[in-house]
Amino acid sequence: MQRTSIDELTSSGARPSRDQGQAARPPGGDGAVIACDRLVRIYSTAGIEVQALQGLDLLVDAGELTALVGASGSGKSTLLNILAGLDTPTAGQARVAGHDLLAMTARDRLGYRRAVVGFLWQQTGRNLFSHLTAAENVALPMRLARGRHRAQRRSRAVELLEMTGVGYCADRMPAQMSGGEQQRVAIGIALANQPAVLLADEPTGELDSESADQVFAALRTANAELGVTVLVVTHDPQVSAQVRRTIAIRDGKISTEVLRRAAADGQSDVAEEYSVLDRAGRLQIPRDFIESLGLRDRVRLALEPDHVGVWPDAQAGGRRGVKDAYGEEE
Ligand SMILES: Nc1ncnc2c1ncn2[C@@H]1O[C@H](COP(=O)(O)OP(=O)(O)OP(=O)(O)O)[C@@H](O)[C@H]1O
Ligand SMILES: [Mg+2]
């Protein structure tokens, strides 16, 4: 994949699209910068179909910093690759900063990848060119976008490296940096052309906890200082504990969301878990609720003044009390 990226970056076919990307952002940053509607991705290999995304709905507002979690194989990388313009969905809709990901031509896609989204891989070696210094790595996407002169590129690259806490690495080669330093340089590369969205697929997965904290801190700084929308896949509970919104994907659909808000005392955070209701009115009941009440096949619903009750089918047995969809005992 690194080969592909190098070829794409250095191919002379497509022109910079920094201006296109910026112009295509929703005016005033209003509304969702990422909008997926019933997104489907089916992989077919050797006659076997895998439904990696099964009608996923997702809205992310401009300027949000969101964590995406889920079991292995749940579809996290599939979603990120689609949003990054590296893969195309089978069906549904996906728009990022005003770009329709299903309608883009190959040329649009290249410009989109260069200027509208920044992408960070888990593997440090995949993010940087080994024969360029940190500053040259960050300046390269700007050079390809042809938006700045050489001296401006250098100073902007150093600024970005300073923002991510690795200004001291500007003239070092990747081999002279730790994995965590390389990932922070990679954030600078991803931000070089002022993307609307920064996507990161387990960027701290190969790092020790201290380096992981520094990389995540750099993502937070980029989000806070530049206002870039960040969507980060993580298995690290420390990361999801530090973001306002964590979305969980299960079997190719968003199943639950955890929202964190400041508590009334202003000192601590309160985290609340929500099930996601899709446009067709479907929601996933958490597995432990299902098991605890022996819910299966069909359930009875009742509309109460302020909630919906969900009862197991008494005929099917296994009735062990009544809970509503959010787990309150009646
Ligand atoms: N290129 C491919 N061809 C066929 N099937 C694929 C391909 N890529 C992914 N899949 C399948 O799609 C499903 C979702 O995979 P995906 O890589 O998105 O999961 P993930 O949530 O990122 O998992 P992990 O946490 O292990 O990285 C899995 O069942 C996977 O085997
Ligand atoms: Mg993955």
Assess whether 238 and 125 both reside in one domain: yes
Number of other CB atoms surrounding residue 37 within 10 Å: 15
**Distances from the Cα of 175 to the Cα of 5, 132, 217, 287, angstroms:** 20, 10, 23, 45
Contact 164, 43 (CB under 8 A): no
Assess whether 169 and 318 both reside in one domain: no
Instruction: Pick the closest to residue 86 from 69, 106, 71, 67 (CA basis).
Output: 106
Residues 314 and 232: their CA atoms lie apart, in Å, by 43
Contact 83, 34 (CB under 8 A): yes
Assess whether 328 and 203 both reside in one domain: no
For residue 110, report the distance from its CA to the centre of ligand 1, in Å. 23
Say if ligand 1 is within 6 A of residue 70 CB: yes
Assess whether 203 and 319 both reside in one domain: no
Assess whether 219 and 76 both reside in one domain: yes
pTM: 0.83
State the closest ligand 1 atom to the C-alpha of 235, by its place in the atom list counted from 1: 25
Assess whether 125 and 7 both reside in one domain: yes
Assess whether 132 and 225 both reside in one domain: yes
Range of the domain at 298: 292-330
Higher pLDDT, 31 or 260: 260
Assess whether 251 and 309 both reside in one domain: no
Asked whether residue 246 is assigned to any structural domain, the reply reads yes
Q: Checking DSSP bridges between strand 197-201 and strand 229-233, what pairing results, if any?
A: parallel
Ligand closest to the CA atom of residue 73: 1
Which CATH number do you get for residue 199?
3.40.50.300
pLDDT band at 239, cuts 50/70/90? confident
* Average pLDDT over all residues of the chain: 84
Question: Tens digits of per-residue pLDDT, 284-315?
Answer: 888 888 999 889 889 999 999 999 999 988 77
Say if ligand 1 is within 6 A of residue 43 CB: yes
Contact 180, 207 (CB under 8 A): yes
Q: What percent of the chain has a predicted confidence (pLDDT) above 90?
A: 59
Assess whether 110 and 7 both reside in one domain: yes
Q: Where are the alpha helices (DSSP H) in 11-90?
A: 18-23, 76-83
Residues 20 and 328: their CA atoms lie apart, in Å, by 50
Asked whether residue 320 is assigned to any structural domain, the reply reads yes
pLDDT value of residue 9: 35
Ligand 1, atom 29: closest residue by C-alpha: 73
For residue 276, report the distance from its CA to the centre of ligand 1, in Å. 22
Assess whether 115 and 177 both reside in one domain: yes
The answer on pLDDT for 14 being more than 80 is no
Instruction: Let me know if 79 is exposed, middle or buried by CB neighbors in 10 A (0-12, 13-18, 19+).
Output: buried
Asked whether residue 53 is assigned to any structural domain, the reply reads no
Asked whether residue 230 is assigned to any structural domain, the reply reads yes
Measured in residues, the chain has a length of 330
DSSP 106-133: HHHHHHHHHHTEEEE-SSHHHHS-TTS-
Strand partners, 44: 49
For residue 218, report the distance from its CA to the centre of ligand 1, in Å. 28
Ligand closest to the CA atom of residue 70: 1
pLDDT value of residue 227: 94
- Mean pLDDT for 251-271 is 84
Assess whether 69 and 193 both reside in one domain: yes
Assess whether 225 and 319 both reside in one domain: no
Considering its fold, how many domains does the chain have in total? 2
